[in-house]
């Protein structure tokens, strides 16, 4: 069920595997093992979405680079920040932003539209996305908020979010591997979850293709609101 939920939402929205899968997996496996599995599932489902928007990525390589390149130094800085900032406190703060942002724009009749290019802000968003990815596996939160305010076609929006998340989480996966997180038991769980994740990601992608640009923007804004609720509840319960 966790693999199905995570794969479906990643195929549909381009992010959210961890938020939806961990709700199931944390009930049946230790936290470190659950996170190490969900990182692999996020990359596996995300690669399918990257292939879907490969032409949009090729058409706007500089836009993606403005997010991704600043994120790379942010990842190890986020890992280092865990020594100073409690991860649950950080998750509560980000959940609060998600709820305010998602709640405000979900119930508006008009969507925000930032028409002017803002490359410096995009670099800042990318850096902090990497920072949050290293600190709390929340790499997609800030880039998703920013991209939802930009009136880009849905393929162009996804051409930023999907490869950004895949790249950041792939690096996290390598860090887990270096730290010895992938034991034989964990590899068996990955083998069980992977086919389900891939199938349901394809179902999500087929639903994504039926959305128009405004519907997709409203979807990711609503997803921010729902993700904020899930993240807040998880932080309060644990």
Sorted by where each begins, the domain ranges of the chain are: 2-237
Instruction: Please report the pLDDT score of residue 3 as a whole number.
Output: 93
Identify which has the larger pLDDT, 203 or 144: 203
pLDDT digits (tens, 9 = 90+) for 168-199: 888 888 878 887 888 999 999 999 999 999 99
Q: What is the mean pLDDT of the chain?
A: 85
pLDDT of residue 68: 94
Higher pLDDT, 91 or 119: 119
Segments in the chain forming alpha helices (H)? 2-13, 17-25, 31-52, 54-59, 61-81, 87-106, 119-136, 141-148, 154-178, 184-208, 213-237
3-state secondary structure 63-75: HHHHHHHHHHHHH
Angle at 80 between CA 74 and CA 236, to 5 degrees: 95
pLDDT 10s digits, 6-30 = 899 888 888 778 778 877 887 788 8
Computed on alpha carbons and rounded to an integer, the radius of gyration of the chain in Å comes to: 17
Q: What percent of the chain has pLDDT over 70?
A: 94
- Residue 85: per-residue pLDDT: 72
User: What's the confidence (pLDDT) of residue 125?
Assistant: 94
Structure tokens, 92: 């509560």
Rounded-to-10 torsion of CA 146, 151, 154, 159? -50
């Amino acid at each position: 069920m966790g693999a199905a939920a995570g794969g479906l939402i990643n195929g549909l929205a381009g992010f959210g595997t961890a938020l939806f899968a961990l709700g199931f997996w944390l009930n049946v496996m230790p936290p470190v093992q659950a996170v190490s599995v969900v990182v692999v599932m996020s990359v596996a489902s995300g690669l399918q979405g990257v292939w879907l928007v490969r032409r949009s990525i090729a058409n706007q390589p500089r836009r993606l680079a403005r997010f991704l390149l600043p994120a790379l130094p942010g990842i190890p800085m986020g890992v280092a920040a865990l020594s100073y900032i409690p991860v649950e406190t950080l998750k509560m703060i980000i959940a609060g932003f998600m709820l305010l942002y998602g709640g405000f724009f979900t119930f508006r009749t008009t969507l925000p539209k930032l028409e002017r290019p803002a490359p410096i802000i995009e670099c800042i968003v990318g850096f902090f996305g990497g920072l949050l990815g290293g600190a709390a596996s929340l790499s997609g939160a800030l880039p998703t908020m920013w991209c939802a305010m930009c009136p880009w076609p849905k393929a162009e929006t996804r051409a930023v979010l999907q490869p950004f998340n895949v790249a950041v989480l792939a690096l996290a996966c390598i860090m887990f591997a270096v730290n010895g997180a992938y034991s034989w038991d964990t590899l068996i769980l990955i083998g069980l979850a992977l086919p389900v994740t891939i199938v349901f990601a394809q179902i999500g992608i087929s639903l994504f293709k039926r959305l128009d640009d405004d519907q997709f923007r409203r979807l990711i804004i609503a997803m921010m609101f729902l993700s904020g609720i899930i993240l807040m509840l998880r932080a309060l319960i644990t």
